[in-house]
């Protein structure tokens, strides 16, 4: 069984949250998908591009937060020929924050409390579970909870929405937006 909460973050909110989590909890922040087996650590999900705007460091916008000492397992997927972090590892998935200038797609923090090992349910380490709960508590305090949309919202995202920006939970293949 997993634990998660949803959020809406602009790139600046995502960078601020990740910066706080990396500093406060000694976390490493890793790109989930890679064509190479090696883990790729980044400072933030968005970096300043040549035009001065914040650009995603990964096309997938999916990362893992993990304690410094943790070794994350990887799985290989022949199609589309990439390595991904195994969700059985002791890490927290950070995903979402897709932003096109007019719409922000919902994101989440998520982790599994247990996993299947040798056909039996096994718990992750108590150290990891304590660390993950502390990360969740802090992240929720860092953001603002909006009951109407049952999600947490970053400061810049809140201003963006107040000025007419859209929050969405899904964007269908034909481009239709489901507003949050």
Kindly report, residue by residue over 86-119, the tens digit of the pLDDT. Answer: 888 899 999 977 888 899 999 999 999 887 777 7
Q: Enumerate the domain spans of the chain.
A: 2-179
The arithmetic mean of pLDDT across residues 127-132, rounded, is 95
pLDDT at 173 over 70: no
pLDDT, tens digit (0-9, with 9 covering 90-100), for 141-166: 999 999 999 999 999 999 999 999 99
More confident residue, 139 or 60: 139
Across the range 30-57, mean pLDDT stands at: 86
CB-based burial of residue 154 (10 Å sphere; 0-12 exposed, 13-18 middle, 19+ buried)? Answer: buried
Residue 3 makes CB contacts below 8 A (sequence gap 6+) with 110, 111, 113, 132, 136
Q: 2-27, pLDDT tens digit by residue?
A: 899 999 999 999 999 999 999 999 99
| Alpha-carbon gap, residue 27 to 1, rounded angstroms | 23
For residues 2, 88, 24, 48, the Cα torsion angle rounded to the nearest 10 degrees is -100
């Amino acid at each position: 069984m997993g634990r998660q909460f949803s959020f809406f973050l602009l790139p600046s909110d995502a960078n601020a949250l990740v910066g706080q989590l990396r500093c406060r909890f000694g976390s490493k922040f890793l790109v989930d998908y890679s064509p190479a087996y090696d883990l790729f650590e980044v400072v933030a999900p968005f970096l300043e591009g040549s035009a001065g705007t914040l650009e995603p460091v990964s096309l997938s916008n999916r990362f893992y937060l993990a304690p410094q000492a943790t070794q994350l397992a990887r799985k290989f997927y022949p199609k589309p020929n990439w390595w991904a972090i195994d969700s059985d590892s002791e890490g927290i998935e950070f995903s979402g924050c897709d932003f096109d200038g007019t719409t922000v797609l919902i994101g989440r923090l998520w982790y599994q409390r247990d996993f299947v090992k040798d056909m039996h349910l096994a718990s992750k380490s108590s150290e990891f579970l304590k660390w993950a709960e502390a990360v969740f508590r802090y992240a929720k305090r860092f953001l603002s909870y909006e009951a109407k949309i049952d999600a947490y919202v970053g400061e810049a995202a809140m201003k963006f929405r107040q000025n007419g920006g859209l929050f969405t939970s899904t964007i269908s293949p034909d481009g239709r937006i489901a507003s949050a």
